[in-house]
């Protein structure tokens, strides 16, 4: 859902003369906006706007267990995890990378493409965070695909590396949160030396089948490795298989809404890898629902 500030600017930019209706689509049980406000919940609680609730599940229509587990989590209860389309793998933080690679190997052997697998973590730091896991997964896929590594200072890149775009660029029609894969490198000659230097990086994005060429500086500033991404970044997206990483290192961020949002990104298969204590804590933690706003009292 959009933040209060963003929604304000959206409304301000609309034409009052031609505007007849605004339709908001969202899920009140997912994570709220990173910014201020709790708009969709406030609009529902105000009880003066026509509200329609989706009763039929479409994303996981053929995978009832994911739906069942999501409903359990929404009620603050531990899911069943039957192993067919949902699973919980308990492990210690120091064993995460081993378990993660093992699960990805099994998914690839089962016929999933790497583009159909998403790894989600609530945090960036520590051994269970996004930064460390991206290093591990980049190394894993580069070796598996026998890709040559391109080095620029302390940066390492390879063809087919998975990246996420972090900024909106209306001219190139590329937006924050879009995920793509490195498809080409462009090299130029140094004026004083014969050796070539990396100047541009091309990325193919699945959404709208577009291809963007970044200058070297723009690429390093505006993209980030994406074999593992945050739950917030992946909210609104979907893929066939989702692996969610949950450990006590992220305790401050664990909540019912975060876990619900994470597993419902999966269309066919979801697996949580982590500590049972962290999972139980998150499911019982409803702190995301405690935002104090006054919008619902305006009407």
Distance, first Cα to last Cα, the chain: 21
Cβ atoms within 10 A of the Cβ of 18, count?
A: 6
The mean pLDDT value for 90-96 works out to 96
Strands 117-121 vs 239-246: parallel, antiparallel or unpaired? parallel
- 85 burial class (0-12, 13-18, 19+ CB within 10 angstroms)? buried
Q: What is the pLDDT of residue 55?
A: 67
Select from 3.40.50.720, 3.40.50.300, 1.20.1270.10, 3.40.50.740 the CATH code of 64-284.
Answer: 3.40.50.300
Mean pLDDT of 275-292: 86
Beta strands in the chain (DSSP E): 86-90, 117-121, 150-152, 155-157, 162-165, 179-189, 196-205, 210-215, 223-225, 228-230, 239-246, 266-274
User: Which pLDDT band, with edges at 50, 70 and 90, does 22 fall under?
Assistant: confident
Per the confidence metrics, is the pTM higher than 0.85? yes
Query: CA angle, 229 as apex, 157 and 29 as ends, to 5°?
Result: 165
Contact call for residues 223 and 163 (beta carbons, < 8 A): yes
Q: What is the pLDDT of residue 58?
A: 62
Distance of CA 29 to the CA centre of its chain: 16
Q: Please give the average per-residue pLDDT across 9-27, as a whole number.
A: 83
Chain region(s) in the chain for CATH 3.40.50.300: 64-284
């Amino acid at each position: 859902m959009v933040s209060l500030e963003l929604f304000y600017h959206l409304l301000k930019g609309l034409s009052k003369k031609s505007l007849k209706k605004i339709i908001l689509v969202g899920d009140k049980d997912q994570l709220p906006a990173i910014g201020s406000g709790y708009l969709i919940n406030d609009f529902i609680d105000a009880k003066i706007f026509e509200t329609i609730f989706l009763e039929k599940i479409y994303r996981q229509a053929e995978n009832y267990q994911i739906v069942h587990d999501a409903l359990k989590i929404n009620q603050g209860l531990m899911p069943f995890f039957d192993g067919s389309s949902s699973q919980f793998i308990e492990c210690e933080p120091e064993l995460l990378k081993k378990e993660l690679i093992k699960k990805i190997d099994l998914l690839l052997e089962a016929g999933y493409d790497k583009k159909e697998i998403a790894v989600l973590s609530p945090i960036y730091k520590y051994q269970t965070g996004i930064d460390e896991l991206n290093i591990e997964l980049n190394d894993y896929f580069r070796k598996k695909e026998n890709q040559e590594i391109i080095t620029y200072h302390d940066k390492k890149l390879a063809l087919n590396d998975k990246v996420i775009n972090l900024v909106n660029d209306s001219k190139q029609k590329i937006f924050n949160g879009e995920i793509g894969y490195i498809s080409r490198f462009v090299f130029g000659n140094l004026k004083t030396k014969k050796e070539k230097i990396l100047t541009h990086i091309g990325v193919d994005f699945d959404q709208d089948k577009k291809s963007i060429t970044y200058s070297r500086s723009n690429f390093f500033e505006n993209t980030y490795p994406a074999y593992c991404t945050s739950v917030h970044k992946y909210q609104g997206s979907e893929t066939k298989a989702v692996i969610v990483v949950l450990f006590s290192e992220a305790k401050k961020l664990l909540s019912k809404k975060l876990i619900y949002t994470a597993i419902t990104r999966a269309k066919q298969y979801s697996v949580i890898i982590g500590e049972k204590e962290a999972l139980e804590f998150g499911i019982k933690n409803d702190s995301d629902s405690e935002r104090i706003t006054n919008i619902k009292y305006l009407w």
